[in-house]
Amino acid sequence: MEKDVEIGIFGGTGIYDSGLLENPQEVDIDTPYGKPSDTITVGIFNGRKIAFLPRHGKKHTIPPHMINFRANIWAFKELGITRIIAPSAVGSLKEELKPGHFVLPSQFLDFTKSRKGSFSEEGRVIHISVADPFCPELHSSIVQVADNQNMHIHKDCTYVCIEGPRFSTKAESKFFRSTGADIIGMTLVPECQLAREAQMCYASISTVTDYD
C-alpha cells in the first residue's frame, strides 16, 4: 500500500474525478470502520503525491448523512497523508456571499444528528479542542494561492452543518441567519473533527451555489 502520500483531497458535490493527477492508480483500502466512499485515486501533481476521494462516491450514490466519514479519514491516514483539502458546495446565508464565490470557513456550527463523529469509543477515549477547527498553515497557503491568481476568497466565515439530505425550512433558514453564520452545507462535520482527532491538518474550500 502507498504510504508516502502528502496531501489528500475530498471531492464534494460536482467533483468526482480530480482529472489533474499524472500516473493515477486506484487504491482499495479496508478500515476498522468499513470501506471508504470509493476507491482512492493516487497520482502525481506538480511533483507531489496526491490522493483524491469523492466523499459521495464517484457516481454520487452516497447522501451526506450516510457518508462513512471515519473510514474516509482512516484511509487517508493509512496512506500517510498529513494534510487534507476539502472542497464543498454550500448555500449562502448572507447577501454579499454570492453564487460562484469562494469561502474559507474558520468556524462551524454543528446541527447534525446521527453521524458517528469520533474515533473515541470504549477503551479509547479522545478529547480534542476544536476551538479553532481548521489548520492555519493550510489556510495561509490557500489565501496566498488565491491572491497570486487574483481570486477573491471570503475568510473568517462560519459554516452551519446540517444533517441533510433535505434542505432547510424557511424557519430554519431564518434561524441560521440569526446566528451570524455565513454559509450552510452538509458535509463539514464530522469530517473536520475526525481529521483533528487523527492529527491531520485540514482546510475546507467552499463554493457558494445558491442562497439558503
Q: Which residues contact 192 (CB under 8 A, 6 or more apart)?
A: 86, 108, 130, 133, 134, 202, 204
Q: What is the pLDDT of residues 165-203, one digit of tens each?
A: 999 999 999 999 999 999 999 999 999 999 999 999 999
In a domain, 84, yes or no: yes
In a domain, 2, yes or no: no
Of the residues 30, 132, 156, 210, only one is catalytic, namely: 210
* Helix or strand (DSSP H, E) at 158: strand 153-162
User: Total domain count for the chain?
Assistant: 1
In a domain, 103, yes or no: yes
**What confidence score (pLDDT) does residue 68 get?**
98
Q: What is the mean pLDDT of the chain?
A: 94
Q: What is the pLDDT of residues 67-100, one digit of tens each?
A: 999 999 999 999 999 999 999 999 999 999 999 9
In a domain, 1, yes or no: no
Does residue 3 or residue 1 have the better pLDDT?
Answer: 3
**What confidence score (pLDDT) does residue 63 get?**
96
Q: What is the pLDDT of residues 103-118, one digit of tens each?
A: 999 999 999 999 999 9
Integer CA distances (angstroms), 80 to 104, 115, 203, in order = 25, 25, 17
**What confidence score (pLDDT) does residue 37 get?**
97
Q: Side chain identity at 175, as an amino acid letter?
A: F
Of the residues 38, 110, 182, 212, only one is catalytic, namely: 212
Q: What is the pLDDT of residues 114-152, one digit of tens each?
A: 999 999 886 778 899 999 999 999 999 999 999 999 999
The grid cell for 7 is: 496531501
CATH number at residue 114: 3.40.50.1580
What are residue 34's phi and psi, to 5 degrees?
Answer: 100, -165
Report the candidate in 73, 70, 78, 142 with the shortest Cα–Cα distance to residue 105: 142
In a domain, 89, yes or no: yes
The question of whether 210 is a catalytic residue gets the answer yes
- Domain residues for the domain of 179 are 7-211
Q: What percent of the chain has pLDDT over 90?
A: 86
CB 18 within 8 A of CB 11: yes
The question of whether 212 is a catalytic residue gets the answer yes
Distance CA 77, CA 19 (A): 23
